[in-house]
Amino acid sequence: MNQKMSKFAHITKVHPCYNEKLHDKIGRIHLPVAPKCNIACRFCKRSLGDESLCEERPGVAHHILKPADVEDYLNDLLKKMDNIKVIGIAGPGDSLFNKETFETLEILQEKFPEMIRCLSTNGLLLPKYAKRLADLGVKTVTTTVNAVDPKIQAQICDWIYYEGKVLKGEEGAKVLIENQIEGVKKAYEYDLAVKINTVLIPEINGEHIVEVAKTFKDYAFVQNIIPLIPMYKMENLRRPTCDEISGVRDNSEEFMTQFRACQQCRADAAGLLHQKNHIEQEKGKNLDIYDLKHFSH
């Protein structure tokens, strides 16, 4: 653990999602440039447009930002928020499943090289793109891993889309898990600091999450266990209690450092983590956004 702490000390000094002491000091911006997703999680319902404005959770954004608009948007934002040091891509779909993510990272590398660049992914395509991310100057990767047992994962994710095929149930779950493990290992080899996000679903993976920590302990820097937000196909399941969350974190901490201050941010969040700012359409400005058909799975 000490070796990993030393290896990524430069990240923990500046990234509020890797150091909870920075929440009121350093801001971040999520660029919602990645609308499409390649897996179907049963708890995930993405929202776009005005219907998203009252929601504070991953998978929602007021609009999809085109890479061509990124530079102007950031220049304007940085004039208003001088505390932003981190620029991330967190969907609202899967970052690595959208070519716009890489177009945006190229812009960030050229125009905003001083900023820490990060992204979030489900990890299905991480083995393929880990090196490319490193070459584009990405420093941190958050990978959502909810199970390392295909039987459990199949209860959380209905299907995956991989190499031109839709793989359902345990078949898809097995491929997803294998790629997540391989991808995180590759990311570590390329000096990317990896945070494992794990959604705690008491009835499904509550007793299993410690196995996720065991599996990734040698390659991931930190684990972030977050509570299920009951919705979509899991709307009838319950949200874990505070005691349950603390207990699972305590058990997993034996194997991996635990991050305990996640805000479950929107895909277009901006500013300090405790603030609820996000990208909104400017009055009188016709933003060039994607057709809603591109927002589905």
d(CA 28, CA 120): 13
Query: Mind listing the pLDDT tens digit for each residue in 154-171?
Result: 999 999 999 999 999 999
SS3 at position 46: coil
CA angle 183, 2, 117 (to 5 degrees): 45
d(CA 289, CA 223): 34
What angle do helix axes 67-80 and 99-111 make, rounded to 10 degrees?
50
What are the extents of the domains in the chain? 10-277
Query: Mind listing the pLDDT tens digit for each residue in 223-273?
Result: 999 999 998 899 999 999 999 999 999 999 999 999 876 555 666 766 544
Res. 288: pLDDT tops 50 = no
Q: What is the mean pLDDT of residues 7-13?
A: 59
Query: Mind listing the pLDDT tens digit for each residue in 16-63?
Result: 555 555 445 567 788 999 999 999 999 987 666 545 455 555 566 667
d(CA 263, CA 242): 15
Q: Which ranges of the chain does DSSP label H, i.e. alpha helix? A: 2-7, 9-12, 67-80, 99-111, 126-135, 150-153, 169-189, 202-205, 209-216, 242-252
Topology (CATH level 3) of domain 10-277:
TIM Barrel (3.20.20)
Residue 66 is classified by DSSP as: P
Residue 117 pLDDT: 92
As given in the structure block, the two tokens for residue 20 are 């909870």
Residue 283 pLDDT: 33
Q: What is the mean pLDDT of residues 200-205?
A: 97
